[in-house]
Amino acid sequence: MSGPKRQPSRETRVRDADRSRDALLDAAQVEFAEKGFAGARVSAIADRAGLNKQLISYYFGGKQGLYDAIQERLATRTEEFDTPGTSLVDLVLGYFRLFQDQRDLQRIFLRDTFEQDPSLVAHDPHDADVEGLRARQRAGEIGAELDPAYLLVFLQSMGVCSAIFPNDVKRLTGLDPQSEEFAERAAEQLAAIVRRLG
């Protein structure tokens, strides 16, 4: 005769909860990348993760909370390389490699961009990213003749070129834009370009 079932330890429950949250985030990242926020369904996300869809409400409070959590996870990942003292080359390559390794994040970023009406976006003369480039310019990392706002647009464009212009990438470089070979070569060239900015 067997004894009473032992309850899992708190540590085990926390590990299981973390695994479930990560599985839902990974599945949601794919679903949002493929279908956008409006087209994504919580039931499809749960099916991808192999979990009950009620867990989305339990852990994230619903689809919007899940989407926000993906953005927070992205911010956490960028904090690993976007730190004070990081050179501009390392900073640019950090973002480039993140989006090359996480193509679903790249597609979400692009979907968000394409779905926004530019006429509703207000100009921010004190945008934190542009201000960061201005500080680097004052420190000599960026030439005085360059406009940091336009430089940021250029760098962002380079980061998503393989998704927006895959045919041009293949035609001009001869490489598959989804390949590791292209990512490595593009990173080398991007680093060389950024070093020339000073």
pLDDT in tens, 38-59: 999 999 999 999 999 999 999 9
- In this prediction, residue 7 carries a pLDDT of 59
∠ CA 92-135-83, nearest 5°, is 50
20 CB contacts (<8 Å, ≥6 apart)? 49, 51, 55, 59
Quote the CATH superfamily of domain 8-72: Homeodomain-like (1.10.10.60)
pLDDT recorded at residue 96: 93
> Domain 80-198, what fold?
Tetracycline Repressor; domain 2 (1.10.357)
**Model pTM?**
0.80
Q: Rank 109-118, 146-155, 158-167 by mean pLDDT and report only the highest.
A: 146-155
In the chain, the amino acid numbered 87 is S
Q: What is the residue extent of each domain of the chain?
A: 8-72, 80-198
Q: What is the pLDDT of residue 6?
A: 58
Q: What percent of the chain has pLDDT over 90?
A: 70
Q: What is the pLDDT of residues 4-24, one digit of tens each?
A: 555 555 555 556 889 999 999
Residue 180 pLDDT > 90, yes or no?
Answer: yes
Six-digit token string for 142: 């960026």
Q: What is the pLDDT of residue 186?
A: 95
